[in-house]
Amino acid sequence: MKKTALWAVPLAAALALTGCASPQDPAATTSPAVEQSPPATQTSAATDAAATPAAEGNQLTADQVYAVVSALKDAEAAPGAQILKDAELKSGAAQIEQFVAEMNVKPEACGAFAASGMAETLDAVNMASLVMPANASAASTSVSIASYGSPADVQAMADKQKKSFEECATFSLEIQGREASATLKDTKAATDAATTLASLGTVKVDGQTMQTLSVYGFDGNNTVAVTLTAPKDVDAAAKKAEETINAALKHIADQ
């Protein structure tokens, strides 16, 4: 699984190119620090537990991750907000992996971030996402939490994402004969996480411009990612993302 930091940018562009989604579509804007899929049929907590391996050490279980995201949802009190559970997020991994593999991304290395191994990698991760529709800050907002078996896995992901910012600051994307250009700018952010990364992705399609702000917190066994599509004020959106990540880390510590 490579170039995960770039996930939100080309996927949003591809959906725009194919006419499959708009910035108001929450399924199209969910972007955690691991790749995710559109929501599938609603599943029960029992199904989630059965599909997810037991957590080891400080890794959170799927139920614990869900509890953290639920606490964030209650605090936000955002009308129309929805939670995507572990099993829902994993159910479409193979399909979305194929979708991304069909993109023609240049430089080619920038398209390798999700072209292989997604489904297998997600088997060892427990996760959940909160997706909120348009508000005063952005067209849509997602908060995604993923818990890994080892802090080393989380640090390796942080290192890869930081490298992605350097290697893929500018790239292009083509799918179904339509083209988009994209840039990825390393953005300043600070949270209580051991490592914080942030990026502002800009995609130009058919004369229109889309922006996606992503802020990532890497801490211990866990990653917290906040993604805002079409932020109206980037600085204010970054501050809100930082506050959300800090709140998530406090809820994680309570588990």
Confidence of residue 243 (pLDDT cuts 50, 70, 90): very high
Domains and CATH numbers, the chain: 4-254 (3.40.1000.70)
Query: Higher-confidence residue: 28 or 120?
Result: 120
Q: Tokens 């083509």 correspond to what residue?
A: 174
Amino acid identity for residue 162 in this structure: K
Whether residue 48 contacts residue 62, with contact meaning beta carbons closer than 8 Å, is answered with: yes
Q: How far apart are CA 96 and CA 109, in angstroms?
A: 18
Q: 32 pLDDT exceeds 50? A: no
85-102 pLDDT, tens digit each: 998 888 877 777 777 777
Higher pLDDT, 233 or 168: 233
pLDDT per position as a tens digit, 15-27: 444 333 333 343 4
More confident: 94 or 49? 94
DSSP category for residue 23: T
Supply the pLDDT for residue 120. 60
Confidence of residue 119 (pLDDT cuts 50, 70, 90): low
Q: How confident is the model at residue 220 (pLDDT cuts 50, 70, 90)?
A: very high
Whole-angstrom Cα distance, residue 69 to residue 78?
A: 13
Question: Which residue has better confidence, 45 or 97?
Answer: 97
Least confident segment among 16-25, 142-151, 178-187: 16-25
Q: Is the pLDDT of residue 141 over 70?
A: yes
What is the average pLDDT value for the chain, to the nearest integer? 76
What residues have CB less than 8 Å from 44, skipping those under 6 apart?
A: none
Distance CA 151, CA 137 (A): 32
Percent of the chain surpassing pLDDT 90: 38
